[in-house]
């Protein structure tokens, strides 16, 4: 590792606050620990939890760097002890608990995946956070099957576009909600059978209409709050509701009777605090089941709406907070391939 620089440019959070609280700084290169790799970052994805961390509402887990960024792609340039699954010079994308907004970052080797041959390095950088999240909640926990119907709330978001693409590749039907005609059109283009503008349509009635009264088998909810009761109404018998964020609030009033009558499952999960072992198992499942879909042309990457240089991460956060984007936002860190 002697050829590597001793310092790197990072983006740090000066103090909790608005997007301008993000600033560039110089820090020593991190050293990969046992089971980790050091990655020269080419690009990093920007996600809603990054914004929450900047605002002071989502601190990193104990022992994790304060540098934001939960996903990245680049070249492996160093190996920690015990790593045999990765090689120096390999192009990978990785899920990390923090540190993505930097020129170099460490990642558990088991949380790295090869960059699919059909994707650019920037597209690969925008995969891990949403792909791990959607696969865990929609496929492993909610067990969406081919032929079943998924309702994806926030269909034009990073999570939503990923859910639409993965569910379609899985052979499932997809309905989505979004907040504008432009976003609804994007959901349809990605493969949703029906896109419901939640600002002027009742998604419960529209889901029931689209499914001939059956309801959605799986509902992926990033809203919470008042949506919980409405999800119960929109769900099919034996339906599964996967709650992964609380953009609409952390409290809900729900009539429990339809949960009993419909035999529903209401489940929740977050990804960041889970163990390296759990995330490694998710990575292996993605590599085995989902990554071949890229090679066969059955699956494409979520759209990248905007790219910003690392020094302008604050602009990426402004865009994220404006809610104008469709798909993913990416920071360009090093040379892309």
Question: Could you report the per-residue pLDDT of 307-337, keeping only the tens digit for each?
Answer: 999 999 999 999 999 999 999 999 999 854 3
> N- to C-terminal Cα distance for the chain?
22
Reported residue count of the chain is 337
Per-residue confidence (pLDDT) for residue 3, from 0 to 100: 85
State the average pLDDT over residues 273-302.
Answer: 97
Residue-averaged pLDDT of the chain: 97
The answer to whether residue 301 scores a pLDDT higher than 60 is yes
The answer to whether residue 276 scores a pLDDT higher than 50 is yes
**SS3 for 212?**
coil
The tokens for 11 are 């983006």
Per-residue confidence (pLDDT) for residue 334, from 0 to 100: 87
The answer to whether residue 285 scores a pLDDT higher than 90 is yes
State the average pLDDT over residues 31-55.
Answer: 98
Domains, in order of start, for the chain? 7-127+272-332 (3.90.180.10), 131-268 (3.40.50.720)
197 forms beta bridges with: 178
The answer to whether residue 1 scores a pLDDT higher than 90 is no
The answer to whether residue 247 scores a pLDDT higher than 70 is yes
Per-residue confidence (pLDDT) for residue 333, from 0 to 100: 98
Residue 149 phi, psi dihedral angles, 5° rounding: -105, 130
The tokens for 300 are 């494409």
Cβ-based neighbours of 202, under 8 Å, separated by 6 or more: none
pLDDT in tens, 206-229: 999 999 999 999 999 999 999 999
Per-residue confidence (pLDDT) for residue 335, from 0 to 100: 55
The answer to whether residue 143 scores a pLDDT higher than 50 is yes
């Amino acid at each position: 590792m002697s050829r590597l620089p001793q310092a790197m440019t990072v983006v740090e959070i000066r103090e909790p606050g608005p997007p301008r609280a993000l600033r560039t700084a110089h820090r020593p290169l991190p050293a990969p620990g046992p089971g980790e790799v050091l990655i020269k970052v080419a690009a990093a994805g920007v996600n809603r939890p990054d914004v929450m961390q900047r605002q002071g509402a989502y601190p990193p887990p104990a022992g994790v760097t304060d540098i934001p960024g939960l996903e990245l792609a680049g070249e492996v340039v160093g190996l920690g002890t015990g790593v045999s699954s990765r090689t120096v010079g390999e192009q990978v994308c990785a899920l990390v608990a923090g540190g993505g907004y930097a020129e170099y970052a460490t990642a558990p080797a088991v949380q790295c995946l090869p960059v699919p041959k059909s994707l650019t390095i920037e597209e690969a950088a925008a995969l891990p956070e949403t792909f791990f999240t959607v696969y865990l909640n929609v496929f492993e926990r909610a067990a969406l099957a081919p032929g079943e119907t998924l309702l994806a709330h926030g269909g034009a978001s990073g999570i939503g576009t990923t859910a639409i693409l993965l569910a379609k590749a899985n052979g499932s039907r997809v309905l989505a909600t979004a907040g504008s005609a432009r976003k609804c059109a994007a959901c349809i283009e990605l493969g949703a059978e029906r896109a419901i503008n939640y600002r002027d349509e009742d998604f419960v009635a529209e889901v029931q209409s689209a499914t001939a009264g059956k309801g959605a088998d799986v509902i992926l909810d990033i809203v919470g709050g008042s949506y919980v009761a409405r999800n119960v109404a929109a769900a099919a018998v034996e339906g599964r509701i996967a709650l992964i964020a609380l953009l609409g609030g952390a409290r809900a009033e729900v009539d429990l009777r339809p949960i009993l009558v419909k035999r529903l499952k209401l489940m929740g999960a977050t990804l960041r605090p889970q163990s390296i072992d759990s995330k490694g198992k998710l990575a292996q499942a993605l590599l085995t089941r989902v990554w071949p879909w890229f090679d066969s042309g059955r699956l494409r990457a979520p759209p990248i709406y905007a790219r910003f240089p690392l020094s302008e991460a604050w602009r990426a956060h402004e865009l994220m907070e404006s809610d104008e984007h469709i798909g993913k936002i990416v920071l360009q860190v090093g040379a892309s391939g």
